[in-house]
Each structure stands twice: as structure tokens, then as C-alpha cells.
A and B are shown apart, each in its own frame.
Chain A
């Protein structure tokens, strides 16, 4: 009898303590819950100290992170307030990009977006490309972000190491030249118990990566500052500022998006860029839609 009561108690604690409402959960495989109740004074819980751990997604729903028309705060729609402060070289570079999105978009098959060759998007474009269910893990040395698109992940070091020095051709670490990387070199620190600031440098040169799906450029001279502010247990605000003197005349803010905590057991569907699937899509649909080669 005592063991039965204990068992009931354990079950009650387990199911009462996770704090997540069960939605569609066929055979335990949880579907994403995109209809969560709003956070109000009644259900707001305090944020944990110095923790970003969890599965996060745009609070406004699955489409809010798409950013098809360009970075969230500056969509490439031709409005004067969204015009970026290009340097002459930056504008020349932008004009050389043939994007499938934005005010200067071209037809499918006529683009030169590295994404369509399944190239890694790099930092910070992963922040601006269909960002949906995004997992954060951390230990005493680092924070890891697992992006949904293409199952990509990055590491932000928190063990006190310094940000490398940005130099021609890459970064300098311990007097040695290190190679540029798609994800750059990131270090982060807690500026208070609920605010995590990340600096990233040493990304790929401007012939390898774009900033967003409308062909805005980014160069190897870029310095990205991200701030993650844990507003409460269920809410995270992810901000990003771009400082790239080769491309832009001044720093500017590209992202300030609110994310909502999701059940950590949520099943995430694959969202790979597969070269063979890409090729088949272009053959069957993309090229005919653009009026170029292919069927039907």
C-alpha cells in the first residue's frame, strides 16, 4: 500500500513539474505547440539565473522567423527607413547578388544565392533564415545553439577566453593566423543574471556568405553583437547588431525578436538542404516556373 502511494506521488510530481501543457503527442512524439497562451501576470514565472537552456521558437508563430523579405528589423521592401547604410563597395556587392527574395528579386534559376548550392549560411544568416525551433544547451564552458535549418550548430565560449583579434585573412590567436569560419569565433559573457552578450568575428569573406535571403552582403570584417535577454522563464529576446565597415558605414540593428519556450521533448522535423532534392526541385518546378529549362 505504501509503495503504491509512493508510486502515485512520483507520477504526480513528474507530470506536474514539467510545466508544459501536452498538445498533440501521438505515441509520445510531441508536435510543436504554436498556440500557447500568452504570458501574463497570472502565469509568468521568474527566469532562472544565467540560463538559456531550452527549446525556443518565435513567439509570434512559426512564420515570424522566416524573414524571407530580409532581416527582421529591416525588410528589403524599398521603404526609405529600411535602406541600409551601404558603403560604395557594399552597394556594388549587393547589386551583384541575384536573390529570390526582396525588392530586387529574380526568378528561380536565375539567382546566385549560395543557399541554393546548399552552402552553409554562416553567422549571422542562420539567425535570419527560417528560424523556428531552436535549441540552446550550455555547460560551464560554453553555450551551444542548435539551429533547425540544415541541423547546424554553433558554440559560444563562456570560459573567459578572449575574442581573437581580427586580422587580414582570418583571426589571430596566440600570435598565429587562424582560418575564417562560417560560424566565426564567438565568445559570450553574462552582463547580468539574465542578459547574455555574444561577440562573433572571423566569418567567411563576402564571396561565400550573404546576410539574408534578399542578397544583403556581409564581409569578413563583420563584428556581430548578439544579446539574449531572459525576460522570464518562458520568454527570451534575441537581438543582433551588425558592424561591418567594409559593407556598411555604421553599425545597425538587424534583429530584436521575442522567443517563447517550448516543450524540450518536442519532435523537430528535418529541414535539410539536400543537393539531390534541390536539383530535383529545380528540374521539376523551379526552372519551369522561371521559364527556363526543364519540365513540364
Chain B
């Protein structure tokens, strides 16, 4: 087998979903006309000064709390010094020694089960502008709209041991930041980017090998391919007795290979020092408490609760737990209904969802309130209507806005559970369909369904299915 162990660490850049930039009041919205969202500070005009965006702090704290990280009382910004045309000040304001989020952890799904991955730290920093190389032959065009927008950089420990694990970790962080509402999750727009540090070491060795960094991966599919290519490349070199060069590489998706990048940061000494324009920030207990209070219950916690307390099957539980709006609707309706959580979940995921798809809508936009939906659930659980009818009622609730009760009453949709009534209907049917009865007695079980169908037809679907079955069985057996 392989003599090499793979060691991967990921640095993920999460663009925060803020209205304005980290240090300036210019708009942070994506997609605007070039250089139309650049303040004097963003262009680094002499004499301009940074002022920190409070919501960026809150979002960073929220992230830190969600990964059970230490949030320090005092955090500082630092300057990372290097020259590049899309870095207007000639330094990036980032964090060095006192990052806003300390050590934390997150659980990922691997094919060997759940695994805890440690996060070294997370810190706030500003993004650079964009360099556009294909606009002109002799020039590179610079757009500073993105310069100064807020990022959180999340640094994992080098504890991922395969490309698949790396993807799982990337997904876990992605789900987390989108769930917390701190990132819009738009991969195409670059809201979530990943740098992967990949190295190999001889199996059993304690010393980490030289690592290469693959920069700016913003797709789950590509990151897996890029890492796998890189692993193969490094393995080939090491097996040939060559060294792996510590360098930065880019992934070329067309060719499915990584190549050396002529680095923007080829001067390695960034000469970090605390930014003298920004005094230290005090993160108060109040701020922490406030973020704890607004933080939604995490999907992982919901998943546990749904499976353990409400006995939902894993798949259903997962589907609801990881959908913010759905889980909210689910929990709100469950609080108002006598129906079993499992049944609620089932109906929500299948029938309600089907209706939403049909209407090209989503749970947030529906005009059916959790309370109204709870009413429908009650009608089902009490046996007043069958599930099939409930589906019909739901559609009616959607168009009319009326409550379930009203619709059932108005349209006389209540299930027929009166055994006397059912008995007469079935008795009549048996009398009227002697052929089918004969076939059933001869062993053709399909005829049973024929009779059920006929009962439903006559009762317009309102016959109580369970009772119909019971009575039909009884009467047929008497034949």
C-alpha cells in the first residue's frame, strides 16, 4: 500500500454578508460597475483612516461561539505589508497576535463516521481588489470595488487526511456560515474561497513534509480534484527522490492540474505589526451574550433533537435540520398541533414540499401559517380526513387562504368513518360486482384494490382507508 500519509490544512476565506465594508462606509454589494464602490479610504488617499464595522465584529463573534471557540476580551488589528496593485494601501489590515476567534472545533462527516476537526483560529481581514488581466494586452486593469470588503479567515489544524475529508470540512464550514446568516454562500461570486495546504509524509513519521499551497478554490468539486492531483504530483516527486518545493500553486480546472503561481506575495516577510490607526477592541460580555441570544440553534443540535426526542428517521431529520426556514416552520407548527412529530415531518417533506414546488415557491413565502398548517395536521391525526384528502385541502388552503376546518366543512370533505355507512356501500359493491368477487376468491389479490378503488370513487375519496380495508376484508371473507 501507500508509504505516504497525506496531511491537509485548509484556510477558508468567508466573505461576510454586510452592507458596507470592513473599514469604510462604501457599499459591499457584489456586481457593481467597476470602481463605483470605492471610498477615499478604499483608494488609500493620504490622510484617510479606517473605522471598524460593528456588524463584522458581531458576525465574527457569532462564528466563534458556534465552534465553541475562545473569544478573547481584547482583540487587535495588524498590518500585513506587501506591494500589489490591487492592495491600495500597500498593506492589508488583518489580525496577527490577538485574533477575534481562538481555538475551536467542528464536526465533519467522513465515510468512517463523524470526526472532530480542530480550528486553529479565525480572524477578520479586508479583501483586496480585483486585477483583470485580459482587458488589455499591455495593461492589467484594477477594480477596487472588492478592496476593503470584510472577510473572516478560518484556519484549520492540519488534521485532514484525504481530499474527501477536506471537502467534508469545507462543506461543514460552508453550511455553518450560511446557516448562521453571516455569509450568503454564493460560490460563483466568490463569497467562499479556500486555500489548501497539502503535504505528504512517510507513513508513521512524526515530521510533516514540505507543503504546497493551492490557492483560491471556490468549488467543492474542484477542490477535491485539485487536492487529488496535488497528492499525486507530490507522491511522484517524492518517489523519484525529488523534493517538494514550498510554493503557491493554482488549480487549472480545464487541464485538471495545479501549476506554480508567480506569487503576488513572493516577498515572504510581511512585517506584521499592530495597526496604529486602530486601538485595541474590547469584546464585552454583553456582546457575547447578545450573539448567543440571536444565534439560531445549530443544525447539528436540531438533528440530534429531531432524531432522539422526536424519533424522526435520520434522512427526514437531516432534511429539516439543515434548512433554516423549513425547520422553523416545522417547529412552530409542531408546537401548535396534537399530531406526532414524525407525521408532521413526513407530510411537510413530501406533500407540502410538492405543493411548494408546484407553485414555484418556498416555505418563507407561503401564505399558509404554521398555525393553519397545524390545524390541518390535527384534522389528519384525529382521523377527520385522510392524508390524501389533506393534500387536497392544503392546495385549497393555498388558494383560498381559509383554514383547514373551514374548507373541510364547506366541501364536506370529512372522512367517512361511520362503519354502518361503509358497510352498506361495500355490501352493495360486492353485490354489484360478482365477477370481481369470484376472481378475488380464486386468489387474485389485485381485486381487493379494485374494491378499495370503487369505495373511494363512490365516497369521493373520503372513506376512511383503514376502516374500509377492515370492513372489506370482513365482508369478502364472508363470501
Does B associate with A?
no
Interface residues of B (CB under 8 A from A): none
Interface residues of A (CB under 8 A from B): none
